């Protein structure tokens, strides 16, 4: 009975949040600065759903992870930092001491280089609180050239970062293009 009441309370709290706090969209850019799609994050009772819609990838599997900083300085996107990992877990969905909270299943680009995938991040939230993806300055979502092997430390041996988008408390207004790969973010905002 207590478990039922607890779950009901959580559902009511999530349902009472304003709609604009429950959904965020990250515009996704490649290392050349071209917008190649979106990642839409939606608060759910059991975590955050991520709808990924991309084009222009090499056909096949690619790793995808949420990273600790909302920075996408091209062309290598290392400004995004490491995987989002506030619990200090090991990397990998298949690792017995993992995963990082930002670890997601690989995505697959079809023969045309298009990705349409629905993924889940079960232990995170878009709302204020523990494991929030939008607290502070936010986080980023990165797609890598190769697939994540689900075990290797620290990042799944998934190759270079090829696509990046930022996730913040503020809704994306589509006003700014990505960081010019030849500049850093500080210069582009002056």
Is the pLDDT reported for residue 42 higher than 60? yes
Say if residues 76 and 111 touch (Cβ distance below 8 Å): no
pLDDT per residue as tens digits for the range 70-109? 999 989 999 999 988 888 877 777 666 678 788 899 999 9
Identify the residue with better confidence: 97 or 28.
Answer: 28
User: Is 40 a domain residue?
Assistant: yes
Is the pLDDT reported for residue 189 higher than 60? no
What's the chain's average pLDDT?
80
Tokens representing 74 are 């091209």
User: Residue 95 belongs to a domain with what CATH number?
Assistant: 2.60.40.200
pLDDT for res 10: 55
How far the first Cα of the chain sits from its last, in Å, is 57
User: Is 135 a domain residue?
Assistant: yes
Is the pLDDT reported for residue 137 higher than 60? yes
User: Is 190 a domain residue?
Assistant: no
pLDDT for res 96: 67
- Structurally, the chain folds into a number of domains equal to 1
Say if residues 88 and 95 touch (Cβ distance below 8 Å): no
Q: What is the mean pLDDT of residues 155-171?
A: 82
Residue with tokens 């506030």: 86
Please give the Cα distance from 164 to 173 (Å, whole number).
Answer: 17
User: Is 132 a domain residue?
Assistant: yes
Is the pLDDT reported for residue 18 higher than 70? no
pLDDT for res 177: 44
Is the pLDDT reported for residue 156 higher than 80? no
User: Is 129 a domain residue?
Assistant: yes
User: Is 91 a domain residue?
Assistant: yes
Which domain range does residue 98 map to?
20-172
User: Which 3 state secondary structure label does DSSP give 84?
Assistant: coil
Confidence at 155, pLDDT banded by 50, 70, 90: low
Identify the residue with better confidence: 40 or 185.
Answer: 40
Q: Which residues contact 8 (CB under 8 A, 6 or more apart)?
A: none
Is the pLDDT reported for residue 53 higher than 70? yes
Residue with tokens 């995004």: 80
Q: What is the mean pLDDT of residues 116-122?
A: 95
pLDDT for res 180: 44
pLDDT for res 20: 57
User: Is 120 a domain residue?
Assistant: yes
Share of residues in the chain with pLDDT > 90 (%): 48
Sign of the CA dihedral running 124, 125, 129, 132: positive
Largest CA distance in the chain: 59
Is the pLDDT reported for residue 22 higher than 70? yes
User: Is 186 a domain residue?
Assistant: no
Say if residues 65 and 105 touch (Cβ distance below 8 Å): no
């Amino acid at each position: 009975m207590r478990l039922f009441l607890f779950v009901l309370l959580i559902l009511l709290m999530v349902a009472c949040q304003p709609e604009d706090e429950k959904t965020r969209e990250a515009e996704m850019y490649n290392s050349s600065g071209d917008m190649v799609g979106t990642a839409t994050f939606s608060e759910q009772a059991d975590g955050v759903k991520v709808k990924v819609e991309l084009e222009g990838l090499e056909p096949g599997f690619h790793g995808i992870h949420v990273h600790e900083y909302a920075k996408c300085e091209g062309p290598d996107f290392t400004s995004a930092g490491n995987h989002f990992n506030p619990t200090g877990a090991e990397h990998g969905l298949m690792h017995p001491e993992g995963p990082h909270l930002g670890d997601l299943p690989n995505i697959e680009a079809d023969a045309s280089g298009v990705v349409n995938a629905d993924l889940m991040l079960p232990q995170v939230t878009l709302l204020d609180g523990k494991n929030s993806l939008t607290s502070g300055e936010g986080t980023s979502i990165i797609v890598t050239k190769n697939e994540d092997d689900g075990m290797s430390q620290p990042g799944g041996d998934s190759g270079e970062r090829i696509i990046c988008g930022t996730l913040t408390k503020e809704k994306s207004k589509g006003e700014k293009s990505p960081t010019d790969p030849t500049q850093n973010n500080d210069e582009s905002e002056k």
